[in-house]
Amino acid sequence: MPQIRINTMLGIARLKAFLNLEGGVTRGAAPEPAHSLERRLQAANQRLAEQRRALEDGQQKIARLRRGLRSKDGPGLSAGRLPDFTIIGGRKCGTGLLYRLLCMHPQVEKAVKKEVHYFDLNYYWGTAWYRGHFPEVTERNGQKVLTGEASPYYLFHPHVPKRMAELVPRIKLIASLRNPVDRAYSHYYHEIRKNREPMPTFEEALEAEEGRLEGELECMLSHEHYASANHAHFTYLSRGIYVDQLKNWEKHYGRDQILVLKSEDLFDEERFPGVWKSLLDFLDLPEWHLEGEVPRVNRGDYPPMDPATRDRLREYFEPHNQRLYECLGRNLGW
């Protein structure tokens, strides 16, 4: 089956024609129902995701070969140790910047890749596979060396907290949260750039979310290894309800193990030093000053949001934000 790349400007009629041609539907056949088209598109995205994971696994094996690591356990070659910290999300909330900054610290050693996605998408590979993404070094110049990863789906995935607590119960977790209105908009254009989102407008994607997610969470909870492309990619509203996600984590970790940051502070020159200090203190890392300007990563360009849409989203998230502020004991000003 050929790979399917959906151009953002591709009309729904052309998309249906493409899928009908691929499935062998004759020209005289009845039009395919919209819900059937959605299921076929989800299946195609799922197959593409599996292909990407297979490619990433091959790349990781090559990286471990180059490091000369060997093990009798798990697929491929593996070694290393378990991480000291993990940036658990949220998505489009500055996790890339956070990880890059931490890995610049002389006492932090990065993983083979930033987003390992073991506890959400690759859990079936086993612990040895996960260890293979981290270096063995634990000390440098008489000082402890930390290592970790940053997988933004961890915060939102229902099974990750329990899985992680069983393997790394004393790990330190970092959650970076962004104004959920801005996060949703950035997320939509991220999916557009990745050619995964067929909805031509942000507003249409928001309207479609409830239908796309119908039954998906139930399937994930009932079948632990069920992978939902819709849950992973098209959750613009759901991912912004941070309080419910954090409460799921607090069932398995104490609050002293979870540092919640406001991602907007990472990009503010006046507030950044305080955020950086709190992050180093949380990880018990010695003070270290970044030289020059804070690097910027994964910044997307997209048109301004429609003011009416922004107002509707602000109203939608307001009660959830208030619950979050009560949970955290501080107002994030959204």
- Tell me: the pLDDT tens digits for 124-147? 999 999 999 999 988 888 889 999
**CATH label, 66-286+299-328, candidates 3.40.50.300, 3.40.640.10, 3.30.420.10, 3.30.70.100:** 3.40.50.300
Domain positions in the chain are: 66-286+299-328
pLDDT the model gives residue 79: 63
Residue 72, SS3 per DSSP:
coil
pLDDT at 137: 86
Q: Is the pLDDT of residue 290 over 70?
A: yes
Lowest-confidence region among 21-35, 125-139, 210-224, 293-307: 21-35
Q: Which two tokens stand for residue 256?
A: 């002293």
Q: What is the pTM of this model?
A: 0.77
Q: Cis bond leading into 148, ω under 30°?
A: no
User: How do strand 172-177 and strand 85-89 relate by DSSP bridges?
Assistant: parallel
Order of all β-strands in the sheet with 85-89: 108-110, 146-150, 85-89, 172-177, 258-262
Q: What is the mean pLDDT of the chain?
A: 84
The predicted structure's pLDDT at residue 45: 62
Distance CA 162, CA 324 (A): 21
Mean pLDDT over 93-99 rounds to 96
Banded pLDDT at 108 (limits 50, 70, 90): very high
Copy the structure tokens of residue 187: 């997320």
Res 23 pLDDT > 80:
no
